[in-house]
Amino acid sequence: MKNIFIIALLVFISNSIYSQDLIVTNEGDSINCKITKVKADNIYFTFKYKDEIRSTLLPMTGVKIHQFDYYQNSEVPEGKVLGYENYQHFRLAVNGGYSYLTAKVGESVPGDFKDYIKELKSGYHLGGDLTYFFTEPLGFGIKYYLFKSSNSLDNIYREDSDGNRTYGKMSDDLTISFIGPTFSTRLLNHNKNKAFIMNVSLGYMGYSNDKVIIDKYKMTGSTVGLSFDIGYDFALSENLSLGFHISSLTGTLFEYVWNDGGRTETIKLEKGEYESLNRIDFSVGLRFGKF
Protein backbone atom coordinates (compact mmCIF):
# COMPACT_ATOMS: atom_id res chain seq x y z
CA MET A 1 0.00 0.00 0.00
CA LYS A 2 2.91 2.33 0.75
CA ASN A 3 4.18 1.84 -2.81
CA ILE A 4 0.82 2.94 -4.21
CA PHE A 5 1.04 6.32 -2.49
CA ILE A 6 4.68 6.77 -3.52
CA ILE A 7 3.71 6.18 -7.16
CA ALA A 8 0.80 8.61 -6.82
CA LEU A 9 3.11 11.25 -5.34
CA LEU A 10 5.65 10.84 -8.15
CA VAL A 11 2.95 11.17 -10.79
CA PHE A 12 1.61 14.27 -9.03
CA ILE A 13 5.06 15.85 -9.02
CA SER A 14 5.76 14.97 -12.65
CA ASN A 15 2.43 16.40 -13.76
CA SER A 16 3.13 19.59 -11.83
CA ILE A 17 6.26 20.36 -13.89
CA TYR A 18 5.50 22.97 -16.54
CA SER A 19 7.99 22.45 -19.37
CA GLN A 20 8.31 24.41 -22.60
CA ASP A 21 8.44 23.59 -26.30
CA LEU A 22 10.71 24.31 -29.27
CA ILE A 23 9.94 25.51 -32.79
CA VAL A 24 12.69 25.68 -35.44
CA THR A 25 11.86 27.66 -38.59
CA ASN A 26 13.12 26.93 -42.08
CA GLU A 27 15.47 29.89 -41.66
CA GLY A 28 17.09 28.19 -38.65
CA ASP A 29 15.54 30.38 -35.94
CA SER A 30 14.80 28.59 -32.64
CA ILE A 31 11.75 29.73 -30.67
CA ASN A 32 11.39 28.87 -26.98
CA CYS A 33 7.61 28.81 -26.57
CA LYS A 34 4.50 26.98 -25.42
CA ILE A 35 2.69 25.31 -28.32
CA THR A 36 -1.06 25.51 -27.80
CA LYS A 37 -2.38 23.93 -30.99
CA VAL A 38 -1.03 22.20 -34.08
CA LYS A 39 -3.12 22.05 -37.25
CA ALA A 40 -2.37 20.92 -40.78
CA ASP A 41 -1.78 24.48 -41.98
CA ASN A 42 -0.71 26.44 -38.87
CA ILE A 43 1.03 26.03 -35.53
CA TYR A 44 -0.19 28.23 -32.63
CA PHE A 45 2.08 29.18 -29.75
CA THR A 46 2.79 31.65 -26.94
CA PHE A 47 6.28 33.08 -26.37
CA LYS A 48 8.14 35.77 -24.44
CA TYR A 49 9.51 38.74 -26.40
CA LYS A 50 11.63 40.95 -24.14
CA ASP A 51 9.27 41.41 -21.16
CA GLU A 52 6.07 40.89 -23.13
CA ILE A 53 4.08 37.65 -23.51
CA ARG A 54 2.77 37.23 -27.05
CA SER A 55 0.53 34.66 -28.76
CA THR A 56 0.78 34.10 -32.49
CA LEU A 57 0.93 31.48 -35.23
CA LEU A 58 3.19 30.33 -38.03
CA PRO A 59 2.30 28.52 -41.25
CA MET A 60 3.47 24.90 -41.14
CA THR A 61 5.23 25.46 -44.46
CA GLY A 62 7.68 27.73 -42.60
CA VAL A 63 8.36 25.30 -39.74
CA LYS A 64 11.24 22.85 -40.00
CA ILE A 65 10.56 20.96 -36.75
CA HIS A 66 8.59 21.39 -33.54
CA GLN A 67 9.20 19.46 -30.33
CA PHE A 68 7.12 19.37 -27.17
CA ASP A 69 8.72 19.52 -23.70
CA TYR A 70 12.15 20.37 -25.14
CA TYR A 71 13.05 22.79 -22.33
CA GLN A 72 12.72 21.72 -18.71
CA ASN A 73 11.87 25.22 -17.50
CA SER A 74 9.39 27.64 -19.01
CA GLU A 75 9.90 31.31 -19.82
CA VAL A 76 6.14 31.75 -20.20
CA PRO A 77 4.03 31.70 -16.99
CA GLU A 78 1.36 29.02 -17.15
CA GLY A 79 -1.46 31.50 -16.64
CA LYS A 80 -0.28 33.59 -19.62
CA VAL A 81 -0.58 30.80 -22.18
CA LEU A 82 -3.46 31.48 -24.52
CA GLY A 83 -5.74 28.48 -24.64
CA TYR A 84 -3.85 26.64 -21.88
CA GLU A 85 -7.18 25.68 -20.26
CA ASN A 86 -8.61 24.50 -23.55
CA TYR A 87 -9.71 21.16 -22.11
CA GLN A 88 -12.86 19.55 -20.74
CA HIS A 89 -13.17 19.95 -16.98
CA PHE A 90 -15.67 17.12 -16.46
CA ARG A 91 -15.10 13.43 -17.24
CA LEU A 92 -17.86 10.84 -16.86
CA ALA A 93 -16.84 7.18 -17.07
CA VAL A 94 -19.02 4.05 -16.98
CA ASN A 95 -17.35 0.65 -16.63
CA GLY A 96 -17.97 -3.04 -16.31
CA GLY A 97 -15.98 -6.24 -16.37
CA TYR A 98 -14.54 -9.25 -14.60
CA SER A 99 -13.68 -9.28 -10.90
CA TYR A 100 -11.80 -11.69 -8.66
CA LEU A 101 -11.75 -11.84 -4.85
CA THR A 102 -8.12 -12.42 -3.88
CA ALA A 103 -8.48 -13.76 -0.31
CA LYS A 104 -7.39 -17.36 0.28
CA VAL A 105 -9.94 -20.02 1.11
CA GLY A 106 -9.94 -20.43 4.90
CA GLU A 107 -8.52 -23.60 6.43
CA SER A 108 -11.75 -24.02 8.41
CA VAL A 109 -13.74 -24.56 5.18
CA PRO A 110 -14.55 -28.31 4.77
CA GLY A 111 -12.81 -29.95 1.83
CA ASP A 112 -16.13 -30.73 0.11
CA PHE A 113 -16.91 -27.00 -0.11
CA LYS A 114 -13.51 -25.55 -1.11
CA ASP A 115 -14.31 -25.66 -4.83
CA TYR A 116 -17.66 -24.00 -4.12
CA ILE A 117 -15.91 -21.10 -2.34
CA LYS A 118 -13.29 -20.79 -5.10
CA GLU A 119 -16.04 -20.44 -7.72
CA LEU A 120 -17.68 -17.74 -5.60
CA LYS A 121 -14.52 -15.63 -5.86
CA SER A 122 -15.15 -14.86 -9.55
CA GLY A 123 -17.82 -12.33 -10.45
CA TYR A 124 -18.50 -9.12 -12.31
CA HIS A 125 -18.73 -5.44 -11.51
CA LEU A 126 -20.55 -2.38 -12.82
CA GLY A 127 -19.99 1.24 -11.92
CA GLY A 128 -18.56 4.57 -12.86
CA ASP A 129 -16.97 7.79 -11.73
CA LEU A 130 -17.46 11.51 -12.29
CA THR A 131 -14.34 13.67 -12.15
CA TYR A 132 -13.79 17.43 -12.26
CA PHE A 133 -10.31 18.39 -13.50
CA PHE A 134 -9.30 21.71 -11.94
CA THR A 135 -6.12 21.65 -14.03
CA GLU A 136 -5.47 19.61 -17.15
CA PRO A 137 -3.66 16.78 -15.29
CA LEU A 138 -5.32 16.89 -11.84
CA GLY A 139 -8.88 16.39 -10.68
CA PHE A 140 -11.20 15.11 -7.99
CA GLY A 141 -14.60 13.45 -8.05
CA ILE A 142 -16.68 10.52 -6.85
CA LYS A 143 -16.58 6.80 -7.65
CA TYR A 144 -19.19 4.03 -7.28
CA TYR A 145 -18.79 0.30 -7.96
CA LEU A 146 -21.03 -2.73 -7.44
CA PHE A 147 -19.59 -6.26 -7.36
CA LYS A 148 -21.79 -9.35 -7.78
CA SER A 149 -21.09 -13.05 -7.44
CA SER A 150 -23.26 -16.10 -6.80
CA ASN A 151 -23.07 -19.87 -6.54
CA SER A 152 -25.33 -22.74 -5.50
CA LEU A 153 -25.08 -26.40 -4.57
CA ASP A 154 -27.91 -28.93 -4.41
CA ASN A 155 -28.44 -31.97 -2.21
CA ILE A 156 -26.54 -30.91 0.89
CA TYR A 157 -27.55 -31.95 4.39
CA ARG A 158 -27.43 -30.56 7.90
CA GLU A 159 -27.11 -32.93 10.84
CA ASP A 160 -28.30 -32.11 14.37
CA SER A 161 -26.87 -33.39 17.65
CA ASP A 162 -29.15 -36.43 17.54
CA GLY A 163 -27.89 -37.47 14.12
CA ASN A 164 -31.01 -36.38 12.25
CA ARG A 165 -30.33 -35.05 8.76
CA THR A 166 -32.18 -32.35 6.87
CA TYR A 167 -31.53 -32.18 3.12
CA GLY A 168 -31.78 -29.13 0.90
CA LYS A 169 -29.85 -26.50 -1.05
CA MET A 170 -26.93 -24.17 -0.32
CA SER A 171 -26.46 -20.87 -2.17
CA ASP A 172 -24.78 -17.48 -1.88
CA ASP A 173 -25.78 -14.24 -3.60
CA LEU A 174 -22.96 -11.83 -2.77
CA THR A 175 -22.98 -8.05 -3.27
CA ILE A 176 -20.13 -5.67 -2.39
CA SER A 177 -20.55 -1.94 -3.03
CA PHE A 178 -18.02 0.88 -2.90
CA ILE A 179 -18.56 4.64 -2.94
CA GLY A 180 -16.13 7.40 -2.11
CA PRO A 181 -14.36 10.59 -3.18
CA THR A 182 -11.51 10.11 -5.62
CA PHE A 183 -8.33 11.97 -6.56
CA SER A 184 -7.36 11.67 -10.23
CA THR A 185 -4.32 12.43 -12.32
CA ARG A 186 -3.95 12.00 -16.07
CA LEU A 187 -1.20 12.26 -18.65
CA LEU A 188 -2.39 13.35 -22.10
CA ASN A 189 -0.57 12.93 -25.37
CA HIS A 190 0.10 16.11 -27.35
CA ASN A 191 -2.84 15.58 -29.69
CA LYS A 192 -5.10 15.22 -26.63
CA ASN A 193 -6.83 12.11 -27.93
CA LYS A 194 -5.20 9.54 -25.63
CA ALA A 195 -4.57 9.57 -21.88
CA PHE A 196 -3.20 7.51 -19.02
CA ILE A 197 -5.47 7.86 -15.98
CA MET A 198 -4.76 7.06 -12.33
CA ASN A 199 -7.31 7.26 -9.50
CA VAL A 200 -7.03 6.82 -5.74
CA SER A 201 -10.18 6.68 -3.61
CA LEU A 202 -11.00 6.11 0.07
CA GLY A 203 -14.62 5.41 0.91
CA TYR A 204 -17.44 3.22 2.18
CA MET A 205 -17.52 -0.49 1.35
CA GLY A 206 -20.79 -2.32 1.97
CA TYR A 207 -21.22 -6.11 2.17
CA SER A 208 -24.40 -8.15 1.70
CA ASN A 209 -24.89 -11.90 1.23
CA ASP A 210 -28.27 -13.57 0.76
CA LYS A 211 -27.47 -17.10 1.90
CA VAL A 212 -29.35 -20.36 1.84
CA ILE A 213 -28.17 -23.27 3.97
CA ILE A 214 -31.39 -25.26 3.67
CA ASP A 215 -33.02 -22.25 5.41
CA LYS A 216 -32.66 -18.61 4.33
CA TYR A 217 -30.24 -16.20 6.03
CA LYS A 218 -28.83 -12.75 5.35
CA MET A 219 -25.40 -11.34 6.23
CA THR A 220 -24.67 -7.60 6.11
CA GLY A 221 -21.72 -5.45 7.10
CA SER A 222 -19.60 -2.46 6.18
CA THR A 223 -16.05 -1.17 6.43
CA VAL A 224 -13.64 1.44 5.04
CA GLY A 225 -12.32 0.59 1.59
CA LEU A 226 -9.42 1.80 -0.54
CA SER A 227 -9.51 1.80 -4.34
CA PHE A 228 -6.57 2.31 -6.68
CA ASP A 229 -6.80 2.03 -10.46
CA ILE A 230 -4.79 2.84 -13.53
CA GLY A 231 -6.10 2.91 -17.07
CA TYR A 232 -5.79 4.08 -20.64
CA ASP A 233 -8.37 6.06 -22.64
CA PHE A 234 -8.42 6.81 -26.36
CA ALA A 235 -10.86 8.94 -28.31
CA LEU A 236 -13.50 7.40 -30.58
CA SER A 237 -14.95 10.79 -31.47
CA GLU A 238 -14.79 14.36 -30.19
CA ASN A 239 -16.92 13.66 -27.10
CA LEU A 240 -16.67 9.87 -26.68
CA SER A 241 -13.74 7.67 -25.65
CA LEU A 242 -13.10 4.01 -24.93
CA GLY A 243 -11.13 3.08 -21.85
CA PHE A 244 -9.49 0.07 -20.23
CA HIS A 245 -8.27 -0.10 -16.66
CA ILE A 246 -7.29 -2.41 -13.82
CA SER A 247 -8.31 -1.71 -10.23
CA SER A 248 -7.34 -2.94 -6.80
CA LEU A 249 -9.93 -2.62 -4.01
CA THR A 250 -9.12 -3.48 -0.41
CA GLY A 251 -11.24 -3.71 2.71
CA THR A 252 -11.64 -5.94 5.77
CA LEU A 253 -14.86 -6.91 7.54
CA PHE A 254 -14.43 -7.05 11.34
CA GLU A 255 -18.07 -7.81 12.16
CA TYR A 256 -21.34 -8.57 10.41
CA VAL A 257 -25.06 -8.76 11.15
CA TRP A 258 -26.68 -12.21 10.87
CA ASN A 259 -30.43 -12.39 10.22
CA ASP A 260 -32.24 -15.74 10.08
CA GLY A 261 -35.67 -14.25 9.47
CA GLY A 262 -36.69 -14.31 13.10
CA ARG A 263 -33.64 -13.07 14.97
CA THR A 264 -30.87 -10.56 14.26
CA GLU A 265 -27.42 -10.87 15.80
CA THR A 266 -24.18 -8.91 15.44
CA ILE A 267 -21.20 -11.24 15.12
CA LYS A 268 -17.80 -9.77 16.03
CA LEU A 269 -14.96 -11.64 14.35
CA GLU A 270 -11.77 -12.60 16.14
CA LYS A 271 -8.32 -11.89 14.73
CA GLY A 272 -7.60 -14.53 12.14
CA GLU A 273 -11.30 -14.74 11.25
CA TYR A 274 -11.60 -11.31 9.63
CA GLU A 275 -13.36 -11.37 6.25
CA SER A 276 -11.19 -9.96 3.45
CA LEU A 277 -13.07 -8.09 0.72
CA ASN A 278 -9.95 -7.51 -1.39
CA ARG A 279 -10.40 -7.92 -5.11
CA ILE A 280 -9.03 -7.04 -8.55
CA ASP A 281 -11.22 -5.61 -11.32
CA PHE A 282 -10.52 -5.70 -15.05
CA SER A 283 -12.71 -3.07 -16.72
CA VAL A 284 -13.72 -1.72 -20.09
CA GLY A 285 -16.06 1.21 -20.58
CA LEU A 286 -17.04 4.46 -22.21
CA ARG A 287 -15.96 7.97 -21.24
CA PHE A 288 -18.08 10.98 -22.07
CA GLY A 289 -16.59 14.42 -22.70
CA LYS A 290 -13.47 15.78 -24.37
CA PHE A 291 -9.97 15.26 -22.98
Whether residues 22 and 126 fall in one domain: no
Q: What is the pLDDT of residue 174?
A: 98
Q: State how far the Cα of 77 lies from the Cα of 67, in Å rounded to an integer.
A: 19
Query: pTM of this prediction?
Result: 0.73
Whether residues 63 and 106 fall in one domain: no
Whether residues 232 and 273 fall in one domain: yes
Amino acid at 76: V
Residue 218 near residue 28 (C-beta atoms within 8 A): no
**CATH number for position 51:** 2.30.30.100
Whether residues 58 and 94 fall in one domain: no
Whether residues 119 and 160 fall in one domain: yes
In a domain, 85, yes or no: no
Whether residues 158 and 56 fall in one domain: no
Q: What is the pLDDT of residue 9?
A: 46
pLDDT per residue rounded down to tens, the chain (291 residues): 555 545 554 544 444 445 788 999 999 999 988 888 888 899 988 888 888 888 889 999 999 999 988 887 766 665 555 544 556 789 999 999 999 999 998 877 887 788 999 999 999 999 999 999 988 889 999 999 999 999 999 988 888 888 888 898 999 999 999 999 999 999 988 777 899 999 999 999 999 999 999 999 999 999 999 999 999 999 999 889 999 999 999 999 999 999 998 899 999 999 988 999 999 999 999 999 877
Whether residues 193 and 277 fall in one domain: yes
Among 172, 179, 174, which Cα is nearest to 205's? 179
In a domain, 163, yes or no: yes
Q: State how far the Cα of 240 lies from the Cα of 208, in Å rounded to an integer.
A: 35
Boundaries of domain holding 283: 90-288
Torsion over CA: 269, 273, 275, 278 (sign): positive
Pick the last residue of a domain from 80, 110, 131.
80
Whether residues 116 and 234 fall in one domain: yes
Whether residues 141 and 209 fall in one domain: yes
Q: Which contiguous run of DSSP H or E holds residue 115?
A: helix 114-120
Whether residues 74 and 213 fall in one domain: no
Residue 183 near residue 201 (C-beta atoms within 8 A): yes
Whether residues 158 and 280 fall in one domain: yes
In a domain, 31, yes or no: yes
